[in-house]
Structure 1
């Protein structure tokens, strides 16, 4: 059985059977059978069905938001924002499909050159727990628009959200076999990725991404789109308003209790009095953040981590940093009277300490002081990841240099590192992805381009051989 629990209270949210390997293969067979009919359906009809899905999401907006918040622990305001992003994804994906994977006709002397895009086939989607609706939705919607069929396995920690998404797709009227949900954990996931699929669209950890790279090395026909984690830098170099600068830091590091792949993990600052004041302001602001359950009043800014086990794992990582020499500016602690999944935001000074290049998926910020901006950029790029980065500065020249030299897929100025638009690509370099960004660019990996030369008749080809044939006719 698969069960999910409210991390704030420990209450059971959902339970249901885990799909067996045989059930996975049967689902893949149904998806394979349904693919030709779905791919052959006119794009306008697929668009209409996906638009109907957006309408269904709207009708179930509050129910879905509460399910997301209850299952992940994130505050209700964030659950509602996630549902809004899911609904908005439909129109964005339709626009992206037209712009990046549409049809193009170019006149030629003989007829025309035509660009078309064709779906891959059966796409497996593995969802994460931190955005259990929005992130898999960002794969599923463009995949279906392109004409693929989809088999979706939600995170085993957020099955209720996945089940509700499946209800919404069914209510939208998708044909049989076009979208299938499989609930389960590692065993179900292994059967899915090992089955007859044409693409794996995955959001999760860098470790899992590295495993999939190796697993599919001998299966080049399978499209692999990886949305992975990051050890993201935020450089704060100057600011006229310390409160505003500190707000960028706090939102970058601690939103969603640090459980966003684009959260700032490393704060890089100059070694001067400005940094002293900034860090003190960030520390004070972090201490004032309201922490609580998803449905508490007044509304909290952050909730618990996804589980007590996640909190224990993050605590072990923080302890290891302290053992290496990190100075504790704000401790990483449990909250008395709360479940073990609740933790306080932590700030560590790691200046001069050789720390591991690892993502801590929790509200933990590591501060590093540097001598000059050259050292700041070097420190920002000193990572095997490359998802997001940010610069807080009023200096246009520094920003221009940062955009040229910083290696990350999402690079923001005077805004939190977590800021991203669905109308732009989203993805990273290095261990943060595999150069197949999602969001607006998801259309790129959901279909393959077919280029054609076309003429209404066969005439005009012989002229290319005129004077180039011998007079000898074979017997």
Structure 2
């Protein structure tokens, strides 16, 4: 029988007396039920928010260095229970176990940088216009924060929100995706186990209505969100009614341009890794390759050979490099994109249909798929698929390549592989994205700003020093001393 999990509030699990429940299943084996979780309504959300609001002033007045020291203990606890949490993540989200381990490792690395912000909550002093007066600024916490996160990176994305929120002096409540509630609850439980004051960090489970209740709650002063652009727009509208700030990291349709690369083999290696980690279910995934027509045939052969080596399967099994999609709805969505692309004229070079037999019969498996001869008018070239699907678009000039790369509503990240420094510079200057990589896959570093433009992002980038601009307010102070 599946275990029941309450919300995590003030250092313990709390199960409401009257509540609706939903279940989480293993996407590699839908018969494995991981637990039953509270579909939190307004009352359950209010309980969690009241808890973080009640300790907000005390946590805000705790010196930043002391907060950082407490959070460092939480990171140590996370490191000690890394494999335990990684196994929960793989069973619930589907990604191979090594990917889960790597995700937690990267989470800790990014958080280590963020804890240093406890020592870098700096204002500045300016010369006053008036004699005998000091003019300066100080950073202050914005207040209780709601973190609403997706299912594709159920540890990394919450950590990108919770650690900067907490170290800058805010209390927080996490709402993980309804597809990965157990991973989110376990993460918050582990972080609390190291001695955080009760109520500083809580978690509530549920779906869209739970997220809306958080956004609408009067005590929430900031919402940090990662997910689809459609959901981000909805949250932004709700938050605007209360004039509450939003940090939103949303969709992507990220291009890689291949233009006389230093090494075709190295370019393919970076593209495949960036496109198919997490089975392509990542906002920074390379989903379309734009290539000089003279090199298209060579690149297609190399991509087909590389993709054929990816092994789908249960993420806990040895040798698996491509886990299932996270839900049946996602499987249906990805399959539909590919079918429509073929009808529009794309050529299926590899893959293309769900895996439904044998070891794959109980899960949501889709093979690594390559669509060639894609043109920019096709739906598959414009819309985010969020699956293990890569498109190949040949072009004749670099100007055309850049125009095709920018011909989408998104602007998260991009890559170019070229040995021509002039081409690389023109691409960096001209690409409409928040991040860009030259001769490198779309893998961000742990101390650099992370975020997009256009329909991919709103608010300061997460990760790195810019994120504290979201989680703090600037207070200007004038002090007349004579």
Root-mean-square deviation (CA, aligned residues, Å) is 1.6
Q: 2:230 aligns with which of 195, 199, 207?
A: 207
Q: Once the 2 structures are TM-superposed, how far is the Cα of residue 340 of structure 1 from its aligned partner?
A: 4.0
What CA distance in whole angstroms lies between the structure 1 residues aligned with 2:434 and 2:375?
Answer: 27
Q: 1:372 aligns with which of 393, 397, 400?
A: 397
Q: Which residue of structure 1 lines up, in the alignment, with residue 325 of structure 2? A: 305
54-63 or 6-15, larger mean C-alpha shift:
6-15
Q: Tell me, what secondary structure is at the counterpart of 2:29? A: coil
Q: Which residue of structure 2 lines up, in the alignment, with residue 40 of structure 1? A: 61
Q: Tell me, what secondary structure is at the counterpart of 2:240? A: coil
Q: Are 1:334 and 1:340, in contact at CA under 8 Å, matched by a contact in 2? A: no
Q: Which residue of structure 2 lines up, in the alignment, with residue 443 of structure 1? A: 468
Q: Deviations over 1:169-210 (max 9, x none)?
A: 221222222111111122222211121211110010111112
Q: 1:241 aligns with which of 240, 263, 266?
A: 263
What CA distance in whole angstroms lies between the structure 1 residues aligned with 2:49 and 2:82?
Answer: 30
Matching of residue 185 in structure 1 with residue 210 in structure 2 = no
Q: Once the 2 structures are TM-superposed, how far is the Cα of residue 293 of structure 1 from its aligned partner?
A: 1.2
Q: Once the 2 structures are TM-superposed, how far is the Cα of residue 97 of structure 1 from its aligned partner?
A: 4.8
Q: Which residue of structure 2 lines up, in the alignment, with residue 58 of structure 1? A: 79
What CA distance in whole angstroms lies between the structure 1 residues aligned with 2:40 and 2:214?
Answer: 10
C-alpha spacing 1:21/1:453, structure 2 compared with 1 (3 Å): same
Q: Are 1:31 and 1:151, in contact at CA under 8 Å, matched by a contact in 2? A: yes
C-alpha spacing 1:23/1:329, structure 2 compared with 1 (3 Å): same
Q: Which residue of structure 2 lines up, in the alignment, with residue 258 of structure 1? A: 280
Matches within 5 A, 1:335-374: 335=355, 336-337=357-358, 338=360, 339-352=362-375, 354-356=377-379, 357-374=382-399
Q: Are 1:429 and 1:435, in contact at CA under 8 Å, matched by a contact in 2? A: no
240-249 or 63-72, larger mean C-alpha shift:
240-249
Calculate the TM-score normalised by the size of structure 1.
Answer: 0.92
Structure 2 residues not aligned, in runs of 5+: 1-20
Q: Which residue of structure 1 lines up, in the alignment, with residue 344 of structure 2? A: 324
What CA distance in whole angstroms lies between the structure 1 residues aligned with 2:245 and 2:376?
Answer: 40
Q: 2:122 aligns with which of 95, 102, 121?
A: 102
Q: Tell me, what secondary structure is at the counterpart of 1:452? A: strand
Q: Are 1:150 and 1:180, in contact at CA under 8 Å, matched by a contact in 2? A: yes
Matching of residue 116 in structure 1 with residue 116 in structure 2 = no
Mark the structure with the bigger radius of gyration.
1
Q: 2:303 aligns with which of 282, 286, 311?
A: 282
What CA distance in whole angstroms lies between the structure 1 residues aligned with 2:383 and 2:375?
Answer: 17
C-alpha spacing 1:366/1:22, structure 2 compared with 1 (3 Å): same
Q: Once the 2 structures are TM-superposed, how far is the Cα of residue 107 of structure 1 from its aligned partner?
A: 6.8
Q: 1:393 aligns with which of 418, 422, 447?
A: 418
Q: Which residue of structure 2 lines up, in the alignment, with residue 406 of structure 1? A: 431
Q: Are 1:311 and 1:340, in contact at CA under 8 Å, matched by a contact in 2? A: no
